């Protein structure tokens, strides 16, 4: 296992959106529900979880990301509303939704799913749901209390943010929570390559 790293492909969010998500967390935190909050600086939109990959496959993974993004133009999203998966009675994940160029986002995610098959990754059979995970429950909260907390947030929205690259991250699991290290940034068509 020493030659493998845990990785995923994701979209970063802007600093302004991170601040918006932090404010949403603060509003929900006051409820004293037993939730493990994701640090706002760690929040991202996962496009594909790759799992543990061999270090020798990193060059091919980077090249595939670059190939995927060449034909997809930058687009804009807005963080809006809040909810839970799978439902209020069995809430495990708290999320903030996304609006904007959702069709373009879906095209990008579907292209990644399709193209990564050639690298040996299986397609995710679950439907893609565009969301930003902000917390996970430690124990099931009261559905009425949780519903009352989420209701006022249904129209809360961030300022729009531009998506002009996808990133490959390494996830390092620690007792204090996951830490993410960016390994590669692939610009969308007409995007500017980010030097790392």
What are the structural domain ranges in the chain? 4-187
Helices (H) and strands (E) in the chain — how many of each?
4, 9
What residues contact residue 131 under an 8 Å CB cut-off, 6+ apart?
A: 45, 83, 85, 95, 96, 97, 98
Query: Model-level pTM greater than 0.85?
Result: yes
| Secondary structure class of 100 (helix, strand, coil) | strand
Residue 163: count other Cβ atoms within 10 Å of its Cβ: 23
How far apart (Å, rounded) are the C-alpha atoms in residues 110 and 193?
Answer: 22
Chain-centre distance for alpha carbon 125: 18
- Sequential pLDDT tens for the chain (196 residues): 569 999 999 999 999 999 999 999 998 887 667 889 999 989 999 999 999 999 999 999 999 999 999 989 999 999 999 999 999 999 999 999 999 999 999 999 999 999 999 999 999 988 999 999 999 988 888 889 889 999 999 999 999 999 999 999 999 988 877 899 999 999 999 644 444 4
Looking at domain 4-187, which of 3.90.1140.10, 3.90.230.10, 3.20.20.70, 1.10.4190.10 is its CATH number? 3.90.1140.10
24 CB burial (10 A radius; 0-12, 13-18, 19+): buried
């Amino acid at each position: 296992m020493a030659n493998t790293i845990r990785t995923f492909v994701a979209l970063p969010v802007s600093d302004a959106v991170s601040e918006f998500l932090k404010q949403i967390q603060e509003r929900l935190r006051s409820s004293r529900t037993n939730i493990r909050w994701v640090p706002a600086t760690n929040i991202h939109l996962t496009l594909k979880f790759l799992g543990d990959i061999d270090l020798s496959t990193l060059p091919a993974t980077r090249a595939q990301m670059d190939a995927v993004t060449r034909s997809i133009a930058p687009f804009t999203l807005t963080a809006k509303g809040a909810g839970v998966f799978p439902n209020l009675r069995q809430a495990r994940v708290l999320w903030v939704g996304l609006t904007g160029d959702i069709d373009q986002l879906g095209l990008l995610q579907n292209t990644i799913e399709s193209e990564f098959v050639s690298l040996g990754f299986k397609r995710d059979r679950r439907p893609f749901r565009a969301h930003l995970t902000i917390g996970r429950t430690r124990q099931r909260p009261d559905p009425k209390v949780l519903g009352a907390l989420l209701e006022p947030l249904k129209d809360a929205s961030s300022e729009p943010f531009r998506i002009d690259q996808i990133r490959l991250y390494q996830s390092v699991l620690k007792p204090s929570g996951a830490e993410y290290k960016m390994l590669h940034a692939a610009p969308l068509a007409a995007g500017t390559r980010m030097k790392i």
